[in-house]
Chain A
């Protein structure tokens, strides 16, 4: 009974095995990919292991406080080095092994040529409230 975040990076992780940009897939391949993700989430809802999931837009902005009375700074004309996170899913599972198993399955989503993309997913445990007894 622990929650994990499955984080889909597009940058920052090693290149995936079946590394063809999505815009070069066929429409059918994209549909198959989407369907796989959808079925995966639906199955986890059925097992009572699904908590939440969202897709994210590819472009984000870094924002920073810039001192009293000044508007916040947003990142400017320097090289684009932000990590790109495509989306995330939160699961609630009985063990770390189960979390790894599910992340492995999600990584097998079909890509170009209908073959699994072997995409790298980051698996991060949630920090929880302390248990009642820890001293």
Chain B
């Protein structure tokens, strides 16, 4: 029984049902029923055409549910009036489903949950585990989301940028349950590149592949963070890096730059460097300038200050940092790092401790606390 195959078929089966006139929420329930049935039946009796099998079973479930519920008679009429189901363009349906699940009327957490369920084919339980909330909470979140988008017409063109943001949110959540959300986000983005021709989709896929390739080297066995400069580059996944760089180059060649392509370009320069010292920081600063033009985000300018510090020395980095609001997340951590490189260990230690207080997660807090302790121990000696 191939769970990944089942999950990859989910969006097109769901898309076909909705295209045939099924209400989104009812179609989603029917597809989930069909998946459960497939898990039960396929091991002993594998179908020749898995997708056709799923469509048939799900459609029958949908009709059963619709007929059984007298209140849904109106919807049944709607279905009756539909032309006989012909071969639907599956790719386009899948794409519509991405748009629907990332609809702007949904909150980010609802859009993420609905995308994982309807496009990703994950169970509510798997999604709840990944986000460390009770299953009942996630079930409510998903059913509210389904109700919210139920009235949305399926043929409206959606907004690619919204879909990409949702997929990036999934990617960043990482992995905590039995589903690796980063890998799932890559799978969904890969699937999306097949359905839509857009350089930013390729840019996001490249960015995810390049980040993901370095994952194994990013934490020590005890779970502590390993900074980029100290990572064992032999543990980077060169195959993913090569694929990411290739996808990125093809996207950049189309000359429609977007923020994901620019971020991927920065990640590619890091991934390409044989050692931290040999990193092309000058070019990285140039890409941050591009990125700042595209987004004008203070976080981008903060990262740019780090790159300036590497390219032109810590004093130049500190000067770039001066222009920024010191309430920005990670501002103190960046300032600490630049002061240390500038030789001012006392200031650096104080700022590392301050940064640790503000760290958004445990691994970062521990890492920054260790940095402060390391400098304090060195100064006292």
What is the total of A-B residue contacts with beta carbons within 8 Å? 84
The answer on a CB contact under 8 Å between B138 and A48 is: yes
Q: Is B144 an interface residue (CB 8 A)?
A: yes
The answer on a CB contact under 8 Å between A129 and B174 is: yes
B9-17, B64-72, B165-173, B338-346: which lies at the interface: B165-173
CA distance A47 to B270 in the complex (A): 42
Interface size class of B (residues with CB under 8 A): 35 or more
Contact check: which of B140, B175, B365 meets A127 at CB < 8 Å? B365
Return A80 CB to nearest CB of chain B, in Å.
29
Interface size class of A (residues with CB under 8 A): 20 to 34
Q: Is A119 an interface residue (CB 8 A)?
A: no
The answer on a CB contact under 8 Å between B109 and A92 is: yes
Q: Is B41 an interface residue (CB 8 A)?
A: no
The answer on a CB contact under 8 Å between A130 and B108 is: no
CA distance A52 to B136 in the complex (A): 11
Contact (A129, B108) CB under 8 Å given A48-B144, A135-B228: no
Chain B residues with CB under 8 A of A39: none
Judged by DSSP, the binding face of B is helix
Chain B residues with CB under 8 A of A93: 109
Chain A residues with CB under 8 A of B140: 45-48
Contact (A1, B137) CB under 8 Å given A129-B362, A130-B364: no
The answer on a CB contact under 8 Å between A94 and B108 is: yes
Return A8 CB to nearest CB of chain B, in Å.
21
Binding site for B on A (CB under 8 A): 1, 3, 45-52, 92-94, 125, 127-135
Sample (7) of A-B pairs whose CB atoms are under 8 Å apart: A45-B136, A46-B144, A94-B108, A128-B360, A128-B361, A129-B176, A129-B362
Binding site for A on B (CB under 8 A): 107-110, 112-113, 131-134, 136-142, 144, 169, 171-176, 182, 211-212, 215, 218, 225, 227-228, 270, 359-365
Given contacts A50-B137, A132-B172, 4 further A-B pairs with CB under 8 A are A127-B360, A131-B174, A132-B171, A134-B225
